[in-house]
A and B are shown apart, each in its own frame.
Chain A
Amino acid sequence: MGPDPAPPPATVRGRLAWTVRDGLVLVRRELARLARDPGRAAGELAFPVLMVLLFGYVFGGAMRVPGGGDYRQYLIPGVFAMTAMSAVLITASAVAADVGRGVMDRFRSMPMARSAVPFGHTASCLVTGLMSLGLMTLCALALGWRARHGPGETAAGFGVLILFRYAMGWLGVLLGLAFRNEETADRFVPLVFPVSLISDSYVPAGAMPAWLRVVAEWNPVSAVTGACRALFGDPALPGPGAAPPLRHPVAAALLWSAVLIAVCAPLAVRRFGSRAR
């Protein structure tokens, strides 16, 4: 006979502690999975580095930044922002796999905190995100990229990236719960890359046709890229006619992240606990 189940906590604080503890167990699970799957680990960590090298060397030579400046210096924040956005793919496919394979049903039949599973997935995505951001930064430094402002502003730039990644992770959890299996989640992958490209990250939005320019200027990836450029002291160059998100990129990036979390997190937790099907 096994041990008796622990009594559920009676206080809000106790319930919060359970949620955090369960969430940490799930973060450890994701890290263990990553350690056992070197292919996936390499993909998640090496892809961003590859993007830095690809854009830096393949396109870098031919690109001219309007108003002058080094294209690599211009590009790096864009790659950072795009990588942060890819969190949506990572959590969506991890959550969809859990649903499709029945692991989610086991979690849901257990006396765990209801919100622990979505929290665990977003938190572990954040941990891998920190690792890939660290690697990318080293690679960028090797390419000659430098943050030209003080350490405070540089840290703020990384803070914006991390917050945006976390927000995209929540969007991914919500999508993963809706997709319900890995195959559907995989079909969604090719959509994400163009979304990150139609932005101010790789080429200035000002060079695009008017209709595309509107999309690019309001794209959250552009706001995050712009915020990083502003905080790192890179050539930012929003023209006088640029849309508000590009003229106030830090505020826009924070607002985008806050709205995504405020909308997606409650919906994801609610959907996880739903007994509609």
Chain B
Amino acid sequence: MSGGRRVDGPAVRAEALTRRFGSTHALRGLDLEIPAGTVCGVLGPNGAGKTTAVRVLATLLRPDSGRAWIDGHDVVRDAARARRRLGLAGQFAAVDEQLTGRANLRMFAELHHLGRAAARRRADDLLGRFGLEDAAGRTVSTYSGGMRRRLDVAASLIVSPAVLFLDEPTTGLDPRGRAEVWAAVRDLAAGGTSVLLTTQYLDEADRLADAIVVIDRGRAVATGTPERLKAACGAAEHADVVVPAGADPDAVRRALRSATGAEPVMGSTAGPGGGLRLSVSTRGDPAALARVVRELDAAGVPIEGLTVRRPTLDDVFLHVTGLPAAGAGNEPAGGTREGIG
């Protein structure tokens, strides 16, 4: 645990980073600080500059201006030292599809100059830690998405990094794969590894991060704990209620208002079967939903549908930037590699 680890000072610091690709400004003065031992969620839509930021911090890309340090080592002037203190996984850093899981980890361990015997031991440690022992002898191309990402994360932890970059680690994964990766990140955080996690999903950042940085158009537009950020934009859970088209809208409104204390909003789209759709904030009260059902029942309004919606990235963006998140509503299809990502 000695080996150049600096206990004081942040794991990552970035000051006024800028980077342009042709006429596109991917980063326009990004500031960032990740205290050692914390998980920072970098949240933003496609094209916000998340990936460019990670590539600059991981020494893959030179910034046009600004400076950044990994564990105190300048990523431009002292890239060799910075590289010894960082791990990179996710969208970009990959594993060799044609090798087995074990062969991949051994190779990366040897490339970290652990020596052959130590590399073997380290590979086996990591396979155990990430639950990949049974698949260790199989070619990676046969792995599920979640297994691949876990191997990917394992490969970036050969030596304990001061910071682990996880660039959209769950993009393209099914719910099970996502849960596997989340569990792995929680374990790392519990073990004291600093993590920078980029994501397009508010709930992912919410579940994993100690602090969230919202970036938009290459700049940090909001920073804070997930709770503070959500509270700031009034983003408690919303209940979406669908009632028959013939129901009295005023009666429904009254019932929802009395159940939650919040003002219901008529939805812009009709429910399935042409019913009325209304949305109301639960104001963070877990009992509010039961009251919604009781009040509507008492008013004699049948309920066709009732769903609880988590606050979305759109809600946060609407609050922070005053604009809907560009492209935030689109399900990412791995198309973020092009350009600025």
Contact = CB atoms under 8 A, between A and B. Distances in A.
Interface of A: 1-8, 18, 21-22, 25, 28-29, 32-33, 36-37, 101-103, 105-112, 116, 275-277
A36 B81 CA distance: 35
Contacts of A277: 21, 61
B82 to A, nearest CB: 9
A45 B246 CA distance: 76
B333 interface: no
Contacts of A37: 98
Interface in B262-292: none
A275 B81 CA distance: 16
B107 A29 contact: yes
Contacts of A105: 60, 88, 92-94
A103 B91 CA distance: 11
A103 B122 CA distance: 20
Contacts of A18: 113
Q: Which 3 A-B pairs have the closest CB atoms?
A: A4-B3, A102-B94, A106-B93
A111 B73 CA distance: 13
Contacts of A276: 61-62
Contact of A4 (B99, B111, B157, B160): B160
Interface in B54-92: 58-62, 80-81, 83-86, 88, 91-92
A51 to B, nearest CB: 26
Interface string B116-157: 001000100110000000000001000000000000000111
A102 B99 contact: no
A36 B93 contact: no
Interface residues of B, number: 47
Interface of B: 1-5, 21, 58-62, 80-81, 83-86, 88, 91-99, 103, 107-108, 110-114, 118, 122, 125-126, 139, 155-160, 191
B118 A8 contact: no
Given A36-B139, A102-B91, A105-B92, A275 B60 contact: yes
A7 B112 CA distance: 10
A6 B83 CA distance: 12
A275 B118 contact: no
Contacts of A22: 111
Nearest to B159: A5
Nearest to A37: B98
A3 B113 contact: no
